[in-house]
Amino acid sequence: MEDYKVINDYLMIRLPEEIDHHESLTISARADRYIMSGRVENIVFDFERTTFMDSSGVGIILGRYRKIACFGGKVYAVNADSRIRRILLMSGLEGIVEIMEPKKKCGEVKQ
Amino acid sequence: MIEIVEKREIREVSNEARVEFAAVSDNEAFARMAVAAFIMPLNPTLEELSDVKTAVSEAVTNAVIHGYENRCDRNDKVSMTCRLRGDELEVEISDRGVGIGDVEAAMTPMYTTRPELERSGMGFAFMEAFMDELEVRSEPGRGTSVRMCRKIGMTPWIAGEE
Ligand SMILES: Nc1ncnc2c1ncn2[C@@H]1O[C@H](COP(=O)(O)OP(=O)(O)OP(=O)(O)O)[C@@H](O)[C@H]1O
Ligand SMILES: [Mg+2]
């Protein structure tokens, strides 16, 4: 399960372990309810728990960005591992999401 | 029928598994877990595991959303065939959905026909980036088949990122 918290006008979304098309439907719908409430200007996507993401994650971020950017809102990605950052960069999200420096590293657990 | 072939190598198949499942979004995770279980005996690195899971997730999601037009009908079926040739995984994901008119255009990064469903047009680009080979065959009205290969347990460790 993902968690939502509003701090000032920032919506913090703690993303689930796996972000795919199936999961993206609930995440986007929940996030939009907060956006519609008018209390949210910026969004922080927290990838701390996330170990898997496909192109559906790109769609979540782009979709939310489009909803808040017209009001001057910003989108941030925190705790994204190298793999998730690679996916964000490959999708050209660099200019859209502010990708904060990582805390955890992908592949920290060596086999 | 359009066919895009990148490269091909013929070797003996040492293991094979095939699953067929309903074209509903719940099965995207199932397909990822199934392919991960299939390659486990090859001792894949986390990177390889993650690459293969991403590629499979993209192909299955495409079958659900585009092939079967996101209707989530349990009677629509997606099949996934995994084959092992030495240390190489071949995985083929097929649907009997609407098919693709122009495969080359569809494979262009950021090309999508479903922007209203928040698709970003990156699926094929990820399959291409994360696998060694990608071949897409499709026929309008008959369906689509995506075949991908990836060597497992051989990737030299690449330092740094991006
Ligand atoms: N199995 C399929 N059946 C029919 N059309 C497909 C299929 N797979 C892909 N397509 C077509 O190819 C296009 C590009 O696919 P791709 O996966 O690259 O992007 P997307 O699915 O639109 O977006 P994303 O994968 O980023 O969410 C799709 O928009 C769709 O028109
Ligand atoms: Mg796709």
CATH of the domain at B138: 3.30.565.10
Q: Is residue B158 part of a domain?
A: no
Residues of B in contact with A96 (CB under 8 A): none
Structural domain boundaries, residue B127: 22-151
Q: What pLDDT shows up at residue A62? A: 96
Q: Count CB neighbours of B98 within 10 A.
A: 17
Q: How many residues does chain A have?
A: 111
Q: What pLDDT shows up at residue A1? A: 62
Provide the token pair at B126.
């990820």
Q: Is residue B10 part of a domain?
A: no
Asked if pLDDT for residue A107 goes beyond 90, the answer is no
Q: Is residue A107 part of a domain?
A: no
pTM for this model (two decimals): 0.90
Asked if pLDDT for residue A102 goes beyond 80, the answer is no
Contact A62 B45 (CB under 8 A): no
Q: What pLDDT shows up at residue B153? A: 86
What mean pLDDT is reported for chain A? 91
User: Total domain count for chain B?
Assistant: 1
Average pLDDT over residues B37-58: 96
Q: Is residue B160 part of a domain?
A: no
Residues with CB under 6 A from ligand 1: A 55, 59; B 58, 62-63, 66-67, 95, 97-100, 106, 111-114, 119-124, 144
Q: Is residue A78 part of a domain?
A: yes
Provide the token pair at B146.
């995506």
**DSSP secondary structure letter of residue B65:** I
Give ipTM to 2 decimals: 0.89
Q: Is residue B159 part of a domain?
A: no
Q: Is residue A14 part of a domain?
A: yes
Structural domain boundaries, residue A46: 3-99
What mean pLDDT is reported for chain B? 92
> CA quadruple A46, A111, B152, B26: dihedral positive or negative?
negative
Asked if pLDDT for residue B70 goes beyond 90, the answer is yes
Q: Is residue A57 part of a domain?
A: yes
User: Total domain count for chain A?
Assistant: 1
Q: List Cα–Cα distances, A103 to A32, A80, B157, in angstroms.
A: 28, 8, 21
Residues of A in contact with B59 (CB under 8 A): none
Q: What pLDDT shows up at residue A34? A: 96
